[in-house]
Structure 1
């Protein structure tokens, strides 16, 4: 079940995505907007083929490349995140405001918290520089148990 707070955050994120696209002259096509809404309809993460199944209810001709192109666009512009360990996607509640996010993923209930810390990114960048390693992308996913599942 999707909470009222999740719906509010989703609505704000969709509004921000539309504004960012207008300001930057980026095309947020109807399909991309639909995929973004489908990602946000989930209270947690969603897999690409689950999104495709939902999209096919709206557009029966939708195929895997359709969904993957939209997901790539949404990731590229910071509107969603890809959770590498789960091969899944989650909406970003504050697009374009950061690049130093990491995720706490509950192994039990699959709740996901997006957290931000410039300190973590600085440590990763420093370690990368010390090892003469050029970063392309930093994805930090920490699995464990959330407070609710600990009790």
Structure 2
């Protein structure tokens, strides 16, 4: 009699566990495991991705139909436009880039966009040129972590 009670108890416990996953839950679990897998990413690919992201954001901002707030929310980055008017509040890296762009201002054809390390972030900068005149610079700061996760 006690064996029957023990077996019946084990059967009820085993049936009550509900350890089976549905196909959707199983797929979601596998996707999450794949996303958390350790990936080896080169510095070059990180900088290339930041450069591509920066270029696409500047292109979007150049069109009149796109708002800055919408772009910032979508890209999880900070965007700053610096003009020639007054002394803008910039960190050391941004100041050195601003000074370099102003130094080469005499020949705007040499000005190009670039990506540099700025602490834990990546700083994309692109000149704003119109009629061979430097009007300002776009500074876009990306989280290094976000860039790596997007690769």
TM-score normalised over the length of structure 2: 0.24
More relative contact order, 1 or 2 (CA 8 Å, 6+ apart): 2
Larger radius of gyration: 2
Structure with greater proportional strand content: 2
